[in-house]
Amino acid sequence: MRDIIIIGHGPAGVSAAIYAARAGANVLLAGKDFGALGKTAEIENFYGHPSPVSGAALGEAGLAQARRLGVEVVQAEALDLRRDGFFTLKTDMGNFESHAAVFATGAGRVTPKIDGLAEFEGRGVSYCAVCDGFFYRGKDVAVLGSGKYALNEASDLLPVVKSVTVLTNGRESVGFPPGVKIFNETVASIRGEKRVGSVELSDGTTLTVSGLFVAEGVAGSTELARKIGAVIENGSIKVAEDKQTNVPGLFAAGDCAGGLKQIAKAVYEGMIAGIEAAKFAKQFS
Ligand SMILES: Cc1cc2nc3c(=O)[nH]c(=O)nc-3n(C[C@H](O)[C@H](O)[C@H](O)COP(=O)(O)OP(=O)(O)OC[C@H]3O[C@@H](n4cnc5c(N)ncnc54)[C@H](O)[C@@H]3O)c2cc1C
C-alpha cells in the first residue's frame, strides 16, 4: 500500500510527486507517455530555460528529479481507479493501492468524429462501462476501440449484457476474449430514433445494438473520473481550492482540472495537489 498514487507523467503529475515525496509520502507515479508536454517541440515561456527546450527533454528531466527524491516511476496505462476505503488503480502492469490519489492525466480527449455519436450521447452512447453497463443488461452492445482500454470496457460489459461487439474503427486490435465479435471496418454512422438502434460500418454492414461504449485509445481524464464518481464540469474535473475532488482523498491538477493550459499552471496545481494529498495520506500512518 502506497501513500499516494499519481496518474500522469506530465508537469502536473511530476510536480505533485516531487512535493508529496518531499513531504515524506511514499509515492507511485504512473503514466503512459508525456501527454501534451510530449507534443511540444519548443517551449520558450517556462522559467529557467534561456533557449527553447523540448517537451520531451523537460519531461525526462522531471522524471529524473522525481526518481532522485525517491518517487517510484512506472510506465503503465491506467484502465480504472476505484475507491473502497483505499484506492485501487488498475493498469496494464497490474494493480496498485494507495490512501490518496491524484489525477494529472491532461486534457480530456476529443470525441471521435462519427456521424450521430455526439447526438446520441446519454441516449445509448456511453463513455463508462462500469457506470452504465447495468442499463444494457440482456441487450446487444458495441465497444468502439481497439486497445487495452477497450478490452477493459468489453470485459466489464461481458458478464452483464447479452453480447459485445468490438468496433476497431480500422485500427489494429489487442486480443479480445472469446465471445466478443470484432469488426475491423471504420464506423460510418450511429443511427436510431430516440436512442441508439444500430451502427453502420463503411462496407455497408448494419449492426443492431442498443448501446455504444466509446473506448478509443487510452482512458482519458473524464473517463477515469466518471468511473470513480468525480464530478466533471465543462469537460474538466471539478476541484476545490485544495485541488481535492468531491471524492475524499482524490485530487486533480493541471490540464485535466480545467483553466489555462500551460506548463507553469500545471506545475503550480501539481504542487498543491501533492502537498494536500500527502496531508490526506498522513492520517493513515
Ligand atoms: C502542441 C502543444 C504546444 C504547447 N506549447 C506550450 C508552451 O509553449 N508553453 C506552455 O506552457 N504550454 C504549452 N502547451 C501546453 C502544455 O503542454 C500543457 O498545459 C501541459 O503539458 C499540461 O500538463 P499536465 O501534466 O496537466 O498534462 P500532460 O502534459 O498532458 O500530461 C498528462 C499525463 O497523463 C498521462 N495519462 C493520461 N491518461 C492516462 C492513462 N489512462 N494512463 C496512464 N497515463 C495517462 C499521459 O501519458 C501524460 O503523462 C502546449 C501543448 C501542446 C499540445
Mapped onto helix, strand or coil, the DSSP state of residue 203 is coil
Query: Does the pLDDT at position 108 exceed 80?
Result: no
Spatial CA neighbour of 92 closest among 80, 84, 103 = 80
Give the β-pairing of 78-84 and 196-201: unpaired
Same-domain status, 170 and 254:
no
Mean of the per-residue pLDDT values of the chain = 94
Contacts 24+ apart (CB under 8 A), 237-242: 237/103, 242/272, 242/276
Same-domain status, 196 and 266:
no
| Ligand 1 site, CB within 6 A | 7-13, 30-37, 39-40, 43, 45-46, 77-78, 104-106, 218-220, 254-255, 261-264, 266
Q: Which amino acid is at 51?
A: S
User: Is 197 part of any domain?
Assistant: yes
Mapped onto helix, strand or coil, the DSSP state of residue 279 is helix
**By residue range, what is the domain housing residue 59?**
2-109+219-282
User: Is 180 part of any domain?
Assistant: yes
Residue 68 CA, ligand 1 centroid: distance in Å = 22
Spatial CA neighbour of 16 closest among 97, 83, 105, 90 = 105
Query: In the prediction, which pLDDT does 130 show?
Result: 86
Same-domain status, 85 and 138:
no
- The per-residue pLDDT for range 238-257, each reduced to its tens digit, is 999 999 999 999 999 999 99
| Confidence (pTM) | 0.89
The domain boundary, picked from 194, 214, 234, lies at 214
Same-domain status, 171 and 234:
no
CATH of the domain at 187: 3.50.50.60
What atom of ligand 1 comes closest to residue 79's alpha carbon? 41
Q: How far is 270 from 254, CA to CA, in rounded Å?
A: 7
Same-domain status, 160 and 255:
no
- The per-residue pLDDT for range 209-245, each reduced to its tens digit, is 999 999 998 888 888 998 999 999 988 999 999 999 9
- If one counts the domains in the chain, the total is 2
- The per-residue pLDDT for range 169-200, each reduced to its tens digit, is 999 988 899 889 999 999 999 999 999 999 99
